[in-house]
Structure 1
Amino acid sequence: MANVRLKLSDPGAGRFTGSNDKLCSYDELPVWKKIYMCPHVVSGYLTDLSTLQCLKSTYKLTNETGNVLTHVVPAVAFLILGLYDHHVTIPGRHGDDMDYVISAIYFTSCQMLLLSSTTYHIFTPHRCRSVFTLGLGLDLFGIVVTILAVLSTFVAYCFKCSVFWQMLYQCVCVAMLVPYAAMFLHPKYRFHWVRPENRLVGIGPPLALVCSVFIAQSYLYHGGWASDTAWIYPFRCLRNGGIYIAAFVLFHIKNIPQVWFPGRFDYVGHGHQWWHMAVVLGLLDWRDALFVFQSIQQQSLSC
């Protein structure tokens, strides 16, 4: 039965065999899957696997092994760090209930981002296009959730003394989850929006617009030029965003370093692994920013 050929009803999935766990090259990938992969990573691929084979493939050295590890290890580290902050850091900084809630939102979103991406990379070799795009959609939705969660924590500190702006911007963050969930998780829209040329349009402009409004409002709300601390809020946001933008350009658009040495970094050191490490760096940078915002709130007058 392992060699029986089955035809998928999923468009573009074609036919598959039941036991193809041999490593293959980029040229041997199904046509529909090539658009999601980097042609400069030329070998080390698995394809045509079942769900169980995908899970077992985590014990096999492929070009996805590093992608999985660079998110699994940080996920464990962030779990430990979250518990440490909850029991040591926040009490040591005399945090209040809001600080605990913000920390919980932040670390929960970090776990969702890291684990959803891990899930995608585990099931990347899956033979069914629906399963592959569902994993990719989950990965992209995890990115959106984390961005909106980061904005939510920013709003909580920045507009702590304004119930109106807090409620307005928090509602905007929550409301934006609905269309993104439909775009990346609903089977009717998922195949379109997970394509590389569409996902950037779907994620980039709307979130960039919302971030710009939040940042500008935060600067004006805290006094603008007349304030000694107003610049800190937009600066930390722009610095954090700059980490992701620079990493995206270098490792996704420019495909550094594999574009310089095709095949040399197939297993270790290709751009997507560096992208994962840049994501972790950005998450750590935002954790530090939250403590900076907390200090500003503690030093200012109460509402």
Structure 2
Amino acid sequence: MLSVVKLPPVFSVHQVPKAFQEDSIISGYRHPRSSATDCILSLFQLTNETLNVWTHFLPTWYFLYTLLSVVFMQYVWTDAYTWPLLIFLFSCCMYPLASSCAHTFSTMSTRSRHICYFFDYGALSLYSLGSALAYSEYVMPDTWVNSTFHIYYVPVAVFNSVISTAMACYSRLGFPPHYNTDTENRFAECKRPRFGKVLRILAFSYPYLFDNIPLFYRIFLCVGEGCTANEANSLHVYHIFLAFLTGFLFATHLPERLAPGRFDLIGHSHQLFHVCGVIATHFQMQAIQMDMAVRRPWLRVHAPEITFRGTHGATMLSIVISLGIICFFSYPLFYSPVRGKATRKRSSAAKKN
């Protein structure tokens, strides 16, 4: 006889530690000490995290298909003009993949929860840099091409991606040397949750706003010649609208804040935030590819040369530094002074006996 797979139980908000509780979500929590198997099995039952995973895991495959289409259909290795698009599409694959993994395995322990989301933040920072690289080469208004702003745009975007990762990681637990021994009660998740939330919002809104300065000028402010008015502008408007809606949902926790408990499993803000973010990325991807195709003849003549250092080099630098930041914030979580003292006491008692 075939054995029946037993799905993990779910809990109410009062049955899980504060570090695992979500604002205005009352039920549908997984066990805070779930095994990896339990985490995977929970994807096939309805919890408050199930749709958080699937709303990012499934779009990952769509973005990956788009990336592979570019790799196999265009001369990406010899045509430098395609490199920013390649990096942008790679970042589009990484951020939903990292998010779905974080939501899947974040209930294995308090430590794993923090580390999972550290990597999630790093992937979002990479996505911001990928967007900046694509905007620098394909979206920049004609009047700004080769300007001082254009020259320093990518270096500042690299710096912003690093600061974004550091600030987002800091928003969870504070500065590593200041970690206390109680992983359940650290700054800022439990003691100052609103401050941590504000830091996280700033960590990702600032790079987005900076990256989109050329686009905001091109769409809303530029008048006359050199404004780069083409078919992609309407797609850029859709992306901007959905991006701001995404940020609004993340910041306000609507609609569950209006009716706590009603949207625990389906329809809460984080699910809507994921859906709007993915659709925004879809329109962004289409707009960038359209700008890339339509503006290619003009950009080949007037834009600065695309280099390996300014594209792949900048991306690798950002990834290495961000990984270093994640390790910096994660390493202290593997060391518990309390556990060390207990071990030393047991060793001393054993020697006396």
- TM-score normalised by L of structure 1: 0.74
Aligned to 1:226: 224
Instruction: Give the count of matched residue pairs.
Output: 271
Q: How far is the alpha carbon of 1:69 from its aligned partner?
A: 1.1
Equivalent residue for 2:124?
A: 143
Distance 1:197 1:184 in 2: 10
Contact 1:86–1:100 at 8 Å: present in 2 too? no
Q: Does 1:177 align with 2:161?
A: yes
1:243: Cα distance to partner? Answer: 0.7
Distance (whole Å) between structure 1 residues aligned to residue 109 and residue 132 of structure 2: 37
1:189 to 159, 167, 175: 175
Equivalent position of 1:277 in the other structure:
275
1:106 partner SS:
helix
Q: Tell me which amino acid in the other structure corresponds to 2:15.
A: E
CA distance in structure 1 between the partners assigned to 2:236 and 2:202 by the alignment:
21
What SS is found at the alignment partner of 1:183? helix
- The CA distance in 2 between the partners of 1:208 and 1:110, in whole Å, is 14
Pair 1:32–1:291, CA change in 2 (3 A): closer
Q: Which residue of 2 aligns with 1:43?
A: 27
Gaps of 5+ in 2: 1-7, 177-185, 190-195, 303-353
| Unaligned segments of structure 1, at least 5 residues | 1-20
Query: One-letter code of the match for 1:199?
Result: R
In the alignment, residue 25 of structure 1 is paired with which amino acid?
A: S
Corresponding residue for 1:18?
A: none
Specify whether residues 261 and 141 from structure 1 end up closer, same or farther in structure 2 by C-alpha distance, changes over 3 A only: same
Identity %: 20
**Residues 76 and 215 from structure 1, CA distance in 2 versus in 1: closer, same or farther, beyond 3 angstroms?**
closer
State the partner residue of 1:199: 200
| Most deviating of 283-292 and 260-269 | 260-269
**Counterpart selection for 1:30 from 10, 17, 23:** 17
Corresponding residue for residue 298 of structure 2: 300
Q: Determine the structure 2 residue equivalent to 1:65.
A: 50
* Counterpart position of 1:242: 241
Separation in 2 of the partners of 1:295 and 1:229?
17
Task: Note the alpha carbon deviations across 1:177-216, whole angstroms, 9 max, x for none.
Answer: 3223333447753775773232113332x32552464346
Rg comparison, structure with higher value? 2
Q: Please name the residue that 1:12 is paired with.
A: none
Which of 69, 72, 78 pairs up with 1:84? 69
The equivalent of 1:112 in structure 2 is 94
RMSD over aligned Cα atoms:
3.5
Q: Does 1:162 align with 2:146?
A: yes
- Offset, 1:239: 4.1
Is the alpha carbon distance of 1:156 and 1:53 closer, same or farther for their aligned partners in structure 2, counting shifts above 3 Å? same
- Distance change (3 Å), C-alpha of 1:236 and 1:207: farther
The residue identity in structure 1 corresponding to 2:254 is N
In 2, are the aligned partners of 1:157 and 1:294 still within 8 Å (CA)? yes
Q: Which among 102, 106, 109 is matched to residue 124 of structure 1?
A: 106
Deviation at 1:77, TM superposition (A): 1.7
Higher relative contact order (CA 8 A, sep 6+): 2
